[in-house]
Amino acid sequence: MNYQDSINFIHEQFNTNEFIPLHAPYFGGNEKKYLNECIDTTFVSSVGAFVDQFENEIINYTDTKKAVAVVNGTAGLQVALQLVGVKENDEVLTQALTFIATANAIKYNQAHPVFIDVDVDTMGLSPSAIIDFLEEFGDLREDGTYNKKTNRRIAACVPMHTFGFATRIDEIVEICKRWNIPVVEDAAESLGSKYKGKYLGGFGDVAVLSFNGNKIITSGGGGAIVTNNIELGTKAKYLTTTAKVPHAYEFFHDELGYNFRMPNINAALICAQLEQLPTFLANKRELAQQYKDFFENSSLKFRWELPESQANFWLMCVEAENKKERDLFLETTNQYGVMTRPIWQLMFKLSMYKDCQRDAQVNAQFLEDRIVNIPSSFRNKQ
Ligand SMILES: *Cc1c(COP(=O)(O)O)cnc(C)c1O
């Protein structure tokens, strides 16, 4: 099998014979206007009107109660875990099929990731695998659930919505509630995606979004912590702004805080990008539909959303029949100027996480061997 027809199709979709990246940012709105306002007013740094505007717009968009703009998604996850009570030597349930930031944020809190399998259809954390793990190892005590094998507290669970496809987040939240385990949603890839009519990021105790340059909208670098728990949200703002006790001119900090603020200049960029999000979503869905039709009779299966969910189609992907087909597709497409990329290597294969407890990871391995991202950028049709 050769993939020349796929390569030609992708070049046609992007109307170019040149190199096609996986995901390029697009600045077609008020970006320059807002950035100039920052410079003209001198508000380029850690406070400014765009930061406040952005936080309010994220609250409205995601239908949550509090949003805190931060310097990047990884820092947001680190603080989110601390907010729900993750401490040194605790454990955190998460998926091995994820971007490194999810696992690193757990480690930054001196806690241990425990890798639970994903579902094949969602590519996100599997509710049934969580149940299997907790029934075997969970010991529900007064102050939370402990792992019978390690005697460590399971202090949080971090499901991740892979490429903007929703996990079965309502089931995960329900299971975790029963075991008294807080849920931190890694929604870094899923701004604009919905599950059962509700935006992702609004399900867990707290959620984190990312606005890195490769995400659906970008602030250059940046992220947000969102929550429906006002108390947690207020604490998030406090911890990410050096834990300074408010005072007109004095400096007093009553705990170890961070300088994780998003600068106003980045907030200006994201405010302009947020205005274009509905356009981006519609434009990407159209591309997704074209891919779906094209790959219908192919050995490569184009990945679609669950019926009860709505994906943002941030990064689109196909599933190859096996690893051999995956490798051939990767090699051929990249050779002909169409950027494609395999999904991440499973976290426990990396030296930092090789000793972490994990289940059999059958589905994660299946997906690691088969999933390939294909060009997914917004297409300017002017
Ligand atoms: C992008 C991303 C993050 C956070 O990334 P930053 O680059 O630090 O903003 C976290 N988790 C996942 C799954 C991501 O894709």
Nearest CA to ligand 1 atom 5: 73
353 DSSP 8-state letter: G
Q: Please state the φ and ψ torsions of residue 230, each to the nearest 5 degrees.
A: -60, -40
Half-sphere exposure of 167 (CA within 13 A, CB side): 35
Closest ligand 1 atom number to CA of residue 211: 9
Report pLDDT digits (tens) over 261-272.
999 999 999 999
Contacts of 246 (CB under 8 A, 6+ apart): none
Q: Is 226 helix (H, G, I), strand (E, B) or coil?
A: strand
Residue 114 contacts residue 91 (beta carbons within 8 Å): yes
Nearest ligand 1 atom to alpha carbon 102: 11
Instruction: Name the residue at shortest CA distance from atom 13 of ligand 1.
Output: 99
What is the model's pLDDT at position 1?
A: 53
| Residues linked to residue 227 through DSSP beta bridges, in sequence order | 66
Angle between helices 49-62 and 31-41 (to 10 degrees): 140
Ligand 1 atom 4: the closest Cα is on which residue?
Answer: 73
Within 10 angstroms of residue 250's Cβ, the number of other Cβ atoms is: 8
* Cα–Cα distance measured from residue 273 to residue 35, given in angstroms and rounded to the nearest whole number: 12
213 CA distance to ligand 1 middle (Å): 10
The domains of the chain are located at: 3-28+277-373, 31-275
Q: Is the CB of 223 under 6 A from ligand 1?
A: yes
Task: For 121-161, write each residue's pLDDT tens digit.
Answer: 999 999 999 999 999 999 999 999 999 999 999 999 999 99
> Residues with Cβ < 8 Å from 150, sequence gap 6 or more?
91, 112, 357
| Atom in ligand 1 nearest the alpha carbon of residue 73 | 9
Angle at 232 between CA 125 and CA 194, to 5 degrees: 40
Most distant CA pair in the chain: distance in Å?
70
User: Of ligand 1's atoms, which has the minimum distance to the CA of residue 222?
Assistant: 9
Q: Is 276 a pocket residue for ligand 1 (Cβ < 6 Å)?
A: no
Q: Is the CB of 102 under 6 A from ligand 1?
A: yes
Residue by residue, DSSP assigns 72-86 as: -HHHHHHHHHHHTT-
Low-confidence ranges of the chain (pLDDT < 50): none
CA distance 324 to 372: 12
Report pLDDT for 272. Answer: 98
Tell whether ligand 1 has an atom less than 6 A from the beta carbon of residue 70: no
Spatial distance between the Cα atoms of 122 and 195, rounded to a whole number of angstroms: 12
> Is-contact 342 371, C-beta < 8 A?
yes
pLDDT at residue 382, rounded to an integer = 63
Angle at 279 between CA 273 and CA 196, to 5 degrees: 100
Tell me if 266 CB under 6 Å of ligand 1. no
Structure tokens, 150: 């390690």
pTM of the model: 0.97
Q: Report the topology of domain 3-28+277-373.
A: Aspartate Aminotransferase, domain 1 (3.90.1150)
Tell me how far the alpha carbon of residue 223 lies from the centroid of ligand 1, in angstroms: 8
Ramachandran class of 96: left when φ > 0, alpha when ψ lies in -120 to 50, beta otherwise: alpha
- Could you please state the CATH topology (level 3) that the domain comprising 31-275 is classified under: Aspartate Aminotransferase; domain 2 (3.40.640)
219 lines ligand 1 (CB under 6 A): no
